[in-house]
Amino acid sequence: MILMVTVWYPSHKALEVANKFNKLAAKGVPPVIKKWEVYGTIDGLNGLKGYHLIKTDREKTEDALMEINKLFAPMFTIDGFSTRVEILSGMKASAEILKYVK
């Protein structure tokens, strides 16, 4: 299972976000998470945007979501910081769903 957490924050908050994220990262990845990759980009008028691709076992998705929420909770004190969590589907699953589209 792949989860994608997208985060946005104002450019002038980048140092504050980086400091908090580095403290969280120093704790290590929770055991329920198999792999965690982070990417970033500039999001025009919205400041900066980060993508966190997080891999976990399907049966551990709920536990992984709880751990992710706990890790990001301290970031919510940063003015302008927001997130969105999505569960990604592979192309095989997406193609299977298309069978039901009429």
pLDDT tens-digit profile, the chain (102 residues):
999 999 999 999 999 999 998 988 888 899 999 999 999 999 887 799 999 999 999 999 999 999 999 999 999 999 999 999 999 988 776 677 777 777
For the beta sheet containing 82-88, the strands, ordered from the edge strand earlier in sequence to the opposite edge, are 33-42, 48-56, 2-9, 82-88
First to last CA, the chain: 27
Which residue in this structure is represented by tokens 């704790």?
27
What pLDDT score was predicted for residue 33? Answer: 96
Topology of the domain comprising 2-98: Alpha-Beta Plaits (3.30.70)
What pLDDT score was predicted for residue 17? Answer: 94
